Structure 1
């Protein structure tokens, strides 16, 4: 997917040959303003190792950096603090050649010893730091710790980190894993100054619930931390003059907590310079007023879950295929989603390696749907219970009731009578669709955390889930094989086969990839929307 640009070249085709792009003026080298204020929700903690919420990590991404990172505007993994990285033939040892001459904001040197100090710290988390809400991403990626304090924690995937020399760090795993190298780009694995970790007792919980380092992050990023005024709900950063890359053009970067309902007015009043998760109803208005309305490349998938355990009819492949042919996904995109949404062909976006264009597409075909129902002995019709959530909005599901009504109408048109049940998102809806047999169809979504197809597919389909109520040992074995494939290129054909098989089995139907949207002031340019919310504010400039 192409990166969204603030200024695009206009082209025409008059038959006289390739059109020439119009001239686009270069942005100024110096910003006309010294402060950028971004409106957002409440952050929890500024130690990324202990943060799982997007608002905290939005801030820490500007202050701390990871060994590898996603390409600007995309999800593919490239160099970060490591100039080069590779895996050995066993798929278990990752070697990182580090950038030279990099310093932390406290003046100490970044080197392989610092890398290993961070990985060793996370691996040795103990006591309360092993709680799922404190070390969520470590547990998601690496599993357990050096000494697990709960029998529910698995053995750790992490084995060791070795500083071969100042510029070479070697991370060993207990087995190959499909999570890497992309998972190394997660902001929770950003490298902190070991001196600051010691100074602020990073592993000692305080009365506020987090260690002192959670309010005093020190990294190598383009901005350094200045202050966090909890009463004013304001985090201040300033450009780090010793930064090893392109220095930030705006001197001060402020993250101001602003309630979602009043962010648009705060932008119009000039109190903030931007915010994200712009309501669909506000996007056209703000664009018309000259604000830069920027969709992020969609990195999620709305799907229609099909529960095979609750209704015998849904265990028939013909019936699931009929449902797939009955749903008009293009109309969902056109009527229920903002600009930038697209119909989903696989369960993950096409920005990830392994996306397969040759899967069963199930183009909208009501006649085919009726034919398949007749072949399944259901020419007289079928009744299904359809659950959808209340009181929730997601980029992949901006209006659950509208989406339900559109799909229900499509199904009724082919002879499938639908009874809708609307439930509050938590806990009623989540419990109903993931634990029981009280429904036949439901709406849900997958959101990617890092640039690897397994992050979308594995949690949904690698083993039996009550959400779908189906078992396919051959499919589950395919997932086991890809999960233990350490070489990234070797995983691509495996994902393509998995995507094809999933669209044959249809435990669910992928529907739409839906973008969320950023907006910036009329004279603010340079920020490239990221599907991973990994926007680089150091590139921002006021014209």
Structure 2
């Protein structure tokens, strides 16, 4: 049995600015920030590069939406970004019994939703059961609750969550905004209404306005008193509010931050980093744990059903050649998992550049070069399209590399809503994205043949390994399962790892206390503004 107790002493031993040790703070002035007394008031103006699409953190999966949703809701636990330790938040302590099958949480007193409704053990039960009903719409959260057997509510401050099998990843999952909490009127609303802003949470901010492709406005939650045990202060947030502005043009974001019209630029591009540093703009960066940017072949498509073609994709990509277009804070992939993910192991030996080997595989598979340099078979060109919305200049380099071996990769950048719809259709020949989570169970979320099954493939050995890794309590065995599963995903061509995502954010010198959580998303509760010079 494990037992964790609520300890505010940890908060007193740690200043807010210790969080920034996990990232990179450049541009100066952080010593001054640490010595300055936080001030209350002001609206933080944040530029994001794409429409958040869906604001419900129980449903959403893109970084902009989750970074907004984190401000609206709290979680049972929190995860220390420095140590990875799970610490108290809405739960003061917990017990884990029956070989990680039963989790008993004791809840804090006095927590309410922003409409005044009390947060109780029944709230936990209702939210988690609603997530299970959302199914695929809750693309992350539903996998965290896979195998949920029952939820018991002995009293208003005690909730017992039981699973059919051991669940090694669940405690970390309770620290995510995907398992955050909302009032009954949100739980009972339609999934679409929740996406569009029907969200009444427990968090330090309240949603005021959401206009697609324009802005999201949040205001301070009056009476908030239940911050995480690793927060730097207690009580209400320092900020009066937060305004997220959707600004797709990187040049506009850059100029607005330099001129002081914006406080934060969430979408700093690699080419702007040196100029921002020269202008004494703070750059805060942290490598995202979880699944790296990868190509995911759809094996239900005849083209990608051929393992030789999938393997050729991997061999044809020179990852070192992607470095010139990356941020100084990014790295090329060395596994399907990023280096900051627990249980990561370097598998770069499986990602070596071998264009001759790629050509040999394609020849063996019957794909012959034509006069235009592109291969074809039975009159069909070796061509597929990637739809994406992210800033990913390295894809153009990948496009050039694949063309050298006769593969015609077409790139289609589109609004996030269109890309999400295409991904949901399951008809893309090759998918492209990353997924952030500070636990290796992120692999099961994406690849499980009985779950999301991004490859549309039949169950196999990798699925057994992923399930085993989510259940085992033996740390050494879990490491072996995760490593072997990662290796198989590469060797079978289920994942073509490319680049590790790093979150790089520029802030004005008037912005203080801005920090990342363990999953490299940001929490604005401790953020505050000083007067602009």
Within the candidate set 337, 351, 355, 2:340 is matched to 351
- 1:301-359 deviation line (CA, Å, top 9, x unaligned): 2224457774699535xx76665444210111x23322222121221212222322257
Alignment of 1:194-273 (within 5 A): 197=183, 201-203=185-187, 205=189, 210=193, 217-219=200-202, 221=203, 223-225=204-206, 227-228=208-209, 234-237=217-220, 240=223, 242-243=225-226, 246-247=233-234, 250-261=238-249, 262-273=252-263
Whether the 8 Å contact between 2:151 and 2:159 is mirrored in structure 1 is: no
**SS at the partner of 2:525?**
helix
- 1:397-439 deviation line (CA, Å, top 9, x unaligned): 345334311x225xx3xxx322344456547994799547xx6
Within the candidate set 516, 523, 529, 1:536 is matched to 523
**SS at the partner of 2:151?**
strand
CA distance in 2, matches of 1:218, 1:533: 22
Alignment of 1:52-131 (within 5 A): 54-55=63-64, 57-72=66-81, 77-98=86-107, 100=108, 103-104=111-112, 114-123=120-129, 130=134
Q: Are 2:23 and 1:4 aligned?
A: yes
Match of 1:160 in 2: 151
**SS at the partner of 2:327?**
coil
Shift in Å, 1:180: 1.2
Shift in Å, 1:521: 0.8
Shift in Å, 1:203: 4.7
Unaligned runs of 5+ in 1: 10-22, 144-155
Match of 1:35 in 2: 42
- 1:473-502 deviation line (CA, Å, top 9, x unaligned): 333333343344467775332112212333
Within the candidate set 512, 519, 526, 1:525 is matched to 512
- 1:142-198 deviation line (CA, Å, top 9, x unaligned): 36xxxxxxxxxxxx72511334684x4321123334541222223142245xxxx36
Alignment of 1:475-494 (within 5 A): 475-485=462-472, 490-494=477-481
Q: TM-score, normalised by structure 1?
A: 0.71
Structure (1 or 2) with the larger CA radius of gyration:
1
Whether the 8 Å contact between 1:462 and 1:480 is mirrored in structure 2 is: no
CA distance in 2, matches of 1:326, 1:237: 51
Match of 1:341 in 2: 330
Match of 1:12 in 2: none
Match of 2:16 in 1: none
Shift in Å, 1:93: 0.5
- 1:235-269 deviation line (CA, Å, top 9, x unaligned): 22257564455236734232243433344444344
1:30 and 1:249, CA in 2 relative to 1: closer, same or farther beyond 3 A?
A: farther
1:380 and 1:287, CA in 2 relative to 1: closer, same or farther beyond 3 A?
A: same
Shift in Å, 1:109: 10
1:95 and 1:513, CA in 2 relative to 1: closer, same or farther beyond 3 A?
A: same
Alignment of 1:285-324 (within 5 A): 285-299=275-289, 300-305=291-296, 310=302, 314-316=306-308, 324=314
Unaligned runs of 5+ in 2: 1-19, 377-381
1:467 and 1:310, CA in 2 relative to 1: closer, same or farther beyond 3 A?
A: farther
1:422 and 1:528, CA in 2 relative to 1: closer, same or farther beyond 3 A?
A: closer
Shift in Å, 1:50: 6.4
Within the candidate set 439, 442, 448, 1:455 is matched to 442
CA distance in 1, matches of 2:452, 2:100: 29
1:205 and 1:508, CA in 2 relative to 1: closer, same or farther beyond 3 A?
A: closer
Whether the 8 Å contact between 2:238 and 2:525 is mirrored in structure 1 is: yes
**SS at the partner of 1:453?**
coil
Whether the 8 Å contact between 1:388 and 1:420 is mirrored in structure 2 is: yes
CA distance in 1, matches of 2:494, 2:210: 48
Within the candidate set 478, 484, 488, 1:497 is matched to 484
Q: TM-score, normalised by structure 2?
A: 0.72
CA distance in 2, matches of 1:428, 1:46: 14
**SS at the partner of 2:174?**
helix
Two-structure CA RMSD over aligned residues (Å): 4.8
Q: Are 2:382 and 1:401 aligned?
A: no
CA distance in 1, matches of 2:193, 2:407: 48
Q: Are 2:186 and 1:189 aligned?
A: no
